[in-house]
Amino acid sequence: MTPVVQAQGIHKRFGRLEVLKGIDFEVGQGEVACLIGPSGSGKSTLLRCINHLEKINAGRLYVNGQLVGYRERGGKLYELRDKEVAEQRRDIGMVFQRFNLFPHMTALENIIEAPVQVRGESKAQARERGRELLDRVGLGDKESAYPAQLSGGQQQRVAIARALAMRPKLMLFDEPTSALDPELVGDVLGVMRQLAADGMTMIVVTHEMQFAREVADKVVFMDDGVVVEQGVPEQVIANPQHERTRGFLSRVLSPNA
């Protein structure tokens, strides 16, 4: 079966700074991959490339078997038009560190905005599904609440529901719990665990090693723009093979040591 995401030797530069230096990895249908690594190692940039927010400079990146942002013809690459990019992006949901809900819209309005405007769903249909999604993230009683009336964790769960409303085939999470008070982290991770159990293909940038250990099918450790080590959590987290992985994990797992 074609992998959902396939990165083959991808490079990304910002000016002279090379942030991704030849990244290879794959995520299969229904798999959860956790990207871990120190600050500045290129994790967010990799997610942003997958979601068309950045363009790679070299290599090949495929989502659902399609080249991201380009069309290949006769061995040459041609940039896709905006409309074609928008079509490719529809299958990808993304949740950021900051939830970025529209402040003047209720939770339900935030969720139905894109399905109505972009997918052309009827308001009634989008509302019905929006309510189901709010139930799914444990916020069935909050449909009329405005973001300012919700905790950070609740806002993040609305943001997850909003991404799911577009019926994505792939969900990307960029440190979804790192802006939350510690007591709110568990509910958000709980929603993500459930999504994984329901078979959603996910790539999660996270420092939550317990989550990665329990939920990930694959852990990818990045440092300085390269994948240093990847494999099942039992290997990469519990029994890392590489000195750089061991150093990083010892800092994350006992930050005050």
CB of 225 to ligand ATP, least distance (A): 8
State the angle between helix axes of 182-197 and 152-164 in degrees (0 to 180), rounded to the nearest 10.
20
CB of 48 to ligand ATP, least distance (A): 7
Beta-sheet strand order (sheet of 218-223): 92-95, 170-174, 201-205, 32-36, 218-223, 226-231
CB of 205 to ligand ATP, least distance (A): 6
Strand ranges (E), 96-149: none
- Residue 177 interacting with ligand ATP (CB under 6 A): no
Site for ligand ATP in 3-62 (CB under 6 A): 14, 17, 19, 37, 39-45
CB of 117 to ligand ATP, least distance (A): 27
What is the C-alpha to C-alpha distance for residues 97 and 156, in angstroms, rounded to an integer?
8
Residues touching ligand ATP, count (CB under 6 A): 11
Q: Which amino acid is at 214?
A: E
Query: Which residue, among 257, 217, 250, 249, has the nearest Cα to 36 in the 3D structure?
Result: 249
CB of 207 to ligand ATP, least distance (A): 8
Q: What are phi and psi of 193, to 5 degrees?
A: -60, -45
Considering the complex, state which of residue 169 and residue 207 has its C-beta at the smaller distance from ligand ATP.
207
Considering the complex, state which of residue 42 and residue 233 has its C-beta at the smaller distance from ligand ATP.
42
Q: Which residues pair with 20 in a beta bridge?
A: 12
Considering the complex, state which of residue 42 and residue 115 has its C-beta at the smaller distance from ligand ATP.
42
Half-sphere exposure of 238 (CA within 13 A, CB side): 10
93 neighbors 115 (Cβ within 8 angstroms) = no
4 neighbors 169 (Cβ within 8 angstroms) = yes
Considering the complex, state which of residue 31 and residue 223 has its C-beta at the smaller distance from ligand ATP.
223
Considering the complex, state which of residue 2 and residue 178 has its C-beta at the smaller distance from ligand ATP.
178
Considering the complex, state which of residue 184 and residue 220 has its C-beta at the smaller distance from ligand ATP.
220
Considering the complex, state which of residue 16 and residue 76 has its C-beta at the smaller distance from ligand ATP.
16
What is the C-alpha to C-alpha distance for residues 133 and 140, in angstroms, rounded to an integer?
8
How many CB atoms are located within 10 Å of the residue 110 CB?
A: 24
CB of 49 to ligand ATP, least distance (A): 9
CB of 189 to ligand ATP, least distance (A): 18
What is the C-alpha to C-alpha distance for residues 5 and 201, in angstroms, rounded to an integer?
9
Residues that bind ligand ATP (CB under 6 A): 14, 17, 19, 37, 39-45
